[in-house]
Structure 1
């Protein structure tokens, strides 16, 4: 099992395993239509649905020692997003899917880039042989910029059909 990032720290953020107590704050993020604009099937409007989602995330943590985590501003302690890596299969290949979502009030502050960069570094140190893939809609240039800023590159070999449409792949292989 890889070294578990119990608490991953960046310059302004801390990332940790989610807890059921985080569900209400997560709902405040995932219930924003703008947050899930490119993945509308991920819109969550009921607390019970977020509690189930957190249980799902925790299941990945329990099985693998890592997963989707909660992101907090270090200065305020406010939960501002979720970011993580999880196992998935794309075109028959087992990969680490890197994902990030943040409250709209934080957009433009570099939080997604900072958190994703920290997680990519953790993944490359803890699971160096594994391919990290960020799956991003072609119509989501903001998320594409985050991926390229942290060093991922467009990799059409891993493009795949997502629940809400085609996902472009950005990977760490080059």
Structure 2
């Protein structure tokens, strides 16, 4: 399994990440200024083909999404991150964990979305591995679950490459249909 090259933490708050750094990527808390780049990614029908309800069509929706992500960060000290290519500084995707409840169990939902120009280059795997490593190190008692549509084979490959296993006990109905679960449960 891939692990982050480096994780910078806030000194006063144990285990709260400032940013995660991998061989090629930097993951950090989103800022409102990131909304336009998030819109560029989530307005692409190919990016949301397995979750069409996530399609964004205007900047106001992207700004609201960033505010939602920041609310989770303010409450819990972690959440969805913006992912940047370290070489170019370009925002190329989002990846992170956030609390959710599945079948009455509170879990960390792992998500990742990337600009199509990065597909096939291992960016999603690299970012998801870094986030999973952080979650397992910082919140070791918590279950991490990636919810993936049955037809999204690329996302399933990312989940299995980082060590998640198919976990049908957490399959659930999502907004766009059934979501298969992949978890780090032993």
> TM-score band (shorter)?
over 0.9
Check whether the contact 1:60–1:86 (CA below 8 A) recurs between aligned residues. yes
Q: 1:123-142: CA deviations, max 9, x gaps?
A: 00000000000000000000
Q: Does 2:14 match 1:8?
A: no
What's the secondary structure of 1:6's corresponding residue? strand
Match of 1:165 among 169, 172, 177: 177
Match of 1:139 among 118, 134, 151: 151
Match of 2:138 among 118, 126, 146: 126
Match of 2:40 among 24, 28, 36: 28
Q: 1:56-92: CA deviations, max 9, x gaps?
A: 0000000000000100000000000000000000000
Match of 1:56 among 54, 57, 68: 68
| Alignment partner, residue 151 of structure 1 | 163
Alignment of 1:71-150 (within 5 A): 71-150=83-162
Write out the 4+ residue segments of structure 1 that deviate beyond 2 Å after TM superposition.
Answer: none
Structure 1: gaps of 5 or more residues: none
Structure 2: gaps of 5 or more residues: 1-12
Task: Work out the CA distance in 1 between the residues paired with 2:155 and 2:168.
Answer: 16
Task: Work out the CA distance in 1 between the residues paired with 2:133 and 2:81.
Answer: 15
Q: 1:91-119: CA deviations, max 9, x gaps?
A: 00000000000000000000000000000
Task: Work out the CA distance in 2 between the residues paired with 1:106 and 1:168.
Answer: 24
Q: How many angstroms does 1:2 deviate by?
A: 6.3
TM-score (norm 2): 0.92
* Count of matched residue positions in the alignment of Structure 1 and Structure 2: 174
Task: Work out the CA distance in 2 between the residues paired with 1:75 and 1:20.
Answer: 22
TM-score (norm 1): 0.99
